[in-house]
Amino acid sequence: MAHELRGGTLARLERALGWAVEVPAALLVLVDIAVLFAGVVSRYVLHDPLLWSDELASILFLWLAMLGAVVALRRGEHMRMTALVSQLGAQRRALLEAVATVACLAFLALLAWPSWDYASEELAITTPALEISNLWRAAALPVGIALMTAFTLLRLVRHGDSKSIKPVLQAAALIAAIVAAFWLAAPLFANLGKANLLIFFVGVAGGCVLAGIPIGFGFGLATFGYLALTTTTPLPVIVGRMDEGMSHLILLAVPLFVFLGLLIEMTGMARAMIAFLAALLGHVKGGLSYVLIGAMYLVSGISGSKAADMAAIAPALFPEMKQRGAKPGDLVALLAATGAQTETVPPSLVLITIGSVTGISIAALFTGGLLPALVLGVMLCGVVWSRYRHEDLSQVRRAPRAEVLKLFVIALPALALPFVIRAAVVQGVATATEVSTIGIAYSVLAGLLLYRQFDWKRVGPMLVETASLSGAILFIIGTATAMAWGLTQSGFSRWLAQIMGSLPGGAPMFLAVSIAAFVVLGSVLEGIPAIVLFGPLLFPIARQLGVHEVHYAMVVVLSMGLGLFAPPLGVGYYAACAIGRVNPDEGMRPILGYMLALLIGTAVVAAVPWISIGFL
């Protein structure tokens, strides 16, 4: 009875604390949208720029990133690789889940003092436009870490109050033993030289990822261990590099595009696009598969989450496709393949991240990303034609031209949105960060005035979901930036440049090795952390070998997409199976043909630079 009362009290405390974090996080999303949109209107319409808007948005953005990371931790939404953990028995799986939680707590505890030290050093710095102390901004880091620590402790205490206390105690003992062993071995690391890179950035980071520890925390533990035990670097530097990675103003596009994607689904714009494409192609053999490919091409990249893209499209198409005899395994295989195909469709968050870490023009990346995805789409259409050329459509009604035209008119505002976003960036109306606010305003007006579908009750949960997904993404970018800095300081980047630059065969061999490497990285790390880690290292080598940076970006992104959605490790494939409610085993064989088509398409994009840079 006492256990139940204590458990109920802890649950209420967690809910109250969660509400106290989620409400400010949601409000920060709204305020950032308003500040950036006001900046666009003031500069482009009133011709009177707001000098303080970017600075205020940057301050609020770091708070949004940290509070969003807290929300993601509470909800268990930080990105992690669970493919290996899910194969284990219930007892071992429970132990590894507890290990993941305790490891997160260990990282947060190690980072607590350095984060406070870093924030206190920012007290003396005054911001140029608002003329306030930079502590108002930097305080987001220790506050966020403290809140994540509180939620992690609450989770462990609640486990301890249940029958699952044994794996928690085992996990705590295991993590404590590992930390103590590394700490005691510190004198040995001083003489190991480059071997330390393998120990920390392959052994520790790789072990954490494979064990199901959230990727951001795994990167953080590896970086903290390397800098603390093998160098004399002051530990607040780690927090400073995290701050640098998370608060780049270009990345403010992440939460705004996530919210835009949720708006597109809520206002019915996604359904309008699908209805038009289904009426146009539904009577063709394999027609709804072509619709799936086309719909993912149009919707993809706007939400910032492939799961959100797939969830917006699959429920509208799968029931009819099953009625026509399509096998569930083939459906999820194609859904996963289209997720990989459309990784370069603007406004892709992976492309925005590449621009952030490499300095490549976002407008150039957006322009260059359309045709490579189209080439891969044609490859997928070839597989669809081969598989469905004998489909029986005798019972399928062909939509009259008048109906198709009517649905086109209804879908036109939705179909125009991706082109409005791209045109606004290319024409200089708004930056890649600001353009999402134009898309949000456009979608709100379309939902209210044209589609008459706008559920105000869903706005709050959508804002919280935006903060959570954005926090998970940005926390990974922060710790990956710290890791990339540590790798650079170690001399690894110079060594990698020498190895990759001396490969026989020049640029073609470099591209081939890059494809293989990023397929593997995509399956293990997902796109954004892999880009943050290796983009600053490999893009300069590509330039030295004469590979155009936009061309190389397309090859890298498509390769990572292939790894992300390829079983058995690609988490995107399992997301597609969860959305389609299909056993992953059923899609294993059908997806092979689609993955082969994507690999051939990626090789074509790599071999023909014009596909990526012909319209720049």
User: What is the distance between the alpha carbons of residues 397 and 448, in angstroms, rounded to a whole number?
Assistant: 33
pLDDT interval class at 151 (50, 70, 90): very high
Q: How many domains does the chain have?
A: 2
Examine the domain organization and report whether 20 and 129 are in the same domain.
yes
Examine the domain organization and report whether 242 and 272 are in the same domain.
no
Question: What digits encode the pLDDT tens for the residues 337-347?
Answer: 988 888 888 77
pLDDT of residue 84: 75
Tokens 């074509």 locate to 604
* Inside any domain, residue 465: no
* Inside any domain, residue 485: no
Amino acid letter, residue 593: G
Higher pLDDT, 527 or 175: 175
User: What is the distance between the alpha carbons of residues 253 and 231, in angstroms, rounded to a whole number?
Assistant: 35
Examine the domain organization and report whether 394 and 428 are in the same domain.
yes
pLDDT of residue 3: 54
* Inside any domain, residue 104: yes
Q: Is the separation of the CB atoms in 68 and 468 below 8 Å? A: yes
* Inside any domain, residue 550: yes
Which range is most confident: 45-54, 384-393, 440-449?
440-449
Examine the domain organization and report whether 124 and 161 are in the same domain.
yes
Domain boundary among 193, 217, 247: 247
pLDDT of residue 568: 67
* Inside any domain, residue 552: yes
Given a cut of 90, whether residue 589 has pLDDT beyond it is no
| Listed residue (36, 51, 55) closest to 431, CA to CA | 36
Examine the domain organization and report whether 279 and 218 are in the same domain.
no
pLDDT of residue 308: 64
Question: What digits encode the pLDDT tens for the residues 105-143?
Answer: 999 999 999 999 999 998 888 888 788 888 899 999 999
Mean pLDDT, rounded, for 148-170: 80
Query: Which pTM does this prediction carry?
Result: 0.79
pLDDT of residue 303: 54
pLDDT interval class at 1 (50, 70, 90): very low
User: What is the distance between the alpha carbons of residues 36 and 54, in angstroms, rounded to a whole number?
Assistant: 7
* Inside any domain, residue 261: no
Which range is most confident: 117-126, 160-169, 520-529?
117-126
Examine the domain organization and report whether 205 and 290 are in the same domain.
no
Examine the domain organization and report whether 303 and 429 are in the same domain.
yes
* Inside any domain, residue 437: yes
pLDDT of residue 6: 59
* Secondary structure letter of residue 396 according to DSSP: P
> Which segment of 3-7, 30-34, 328-332, 540-544 scores lowest on mean pLDDT?
3-7
* Mean of the per-residue pLDDT values of the chain: 83
pLDDT of residue 7: 61
| Listed residue (214, 206, 308, 194) closest to 520, CA to CA | 206
Question: What digits encode the pLDDT tens for the residues 93-106?
Answer: 888 888 999 999 99
Helices and strands in the chain, H and E counts: 28, 0
Given a cut of 60, whether residue 162 has pLDDT beyond it is no
User: What is the distance between the alpha carbons of residues 495 and 205, in angstroms, rounded to a whole number?
Assistant: 20
Domain boundary among 197, 214, 247: 247
Examine the domain organization and report whether 198 and 313 are in the same domain.
no
Examine the domain organization and report whether 340 and 389 are in the same domain.
yes
User: What is the distance between the alpha carbons of residues 468 and 288, in angstroms, rounded to a whole number?
Assistant: 33
Which range is most confident: 28-37, 160-169, 260-269, 310-319?
28-37
* Inside any domain, residue 473: no
Higher pLDDT, 552 or 156: 552
Examine the domain organization and report whether 186 and 329 are in the same domain.
no
pLDDT of residue 298: 77
Mean pLDDT, rounded, for 167-176: 90
Domain boundary among 185, 218, 247: 247
User: In the numeric block, which tokens belong to residue 253?
Assistant: 């596009």
The parent domain of residue 603 ranges over 268-454+491-613
pLDDT of residue 312: 67
Looking at the chain, the whole-number percentage of residues with pLDDT higher than 70 is 92
Long-range residue pairs from 497-505, CB within 8 A, at least 24 positions apart, any chain: 497/537, 497/540, 497/541, 497/544, 500/538, 500/541, 501/541, 501/544, 501/545
Mean pLDDT, rounded, for 8-27: 88
Question: What digits encode the pLDDT tens for the residues 453-494?
Answer: 888 889 999 999 889 988 887 888 788 888 878 877 777 767
User: In the numeric block, which tokens belong to residue 76?
Assistant: 């268990």
pLDDT of residue 209: 81
Examine the domain organization and report whether 70 and 12 are in the same domain.
yes
Examine the domain organization and report whether 212 and 281 are in the same domain.
no
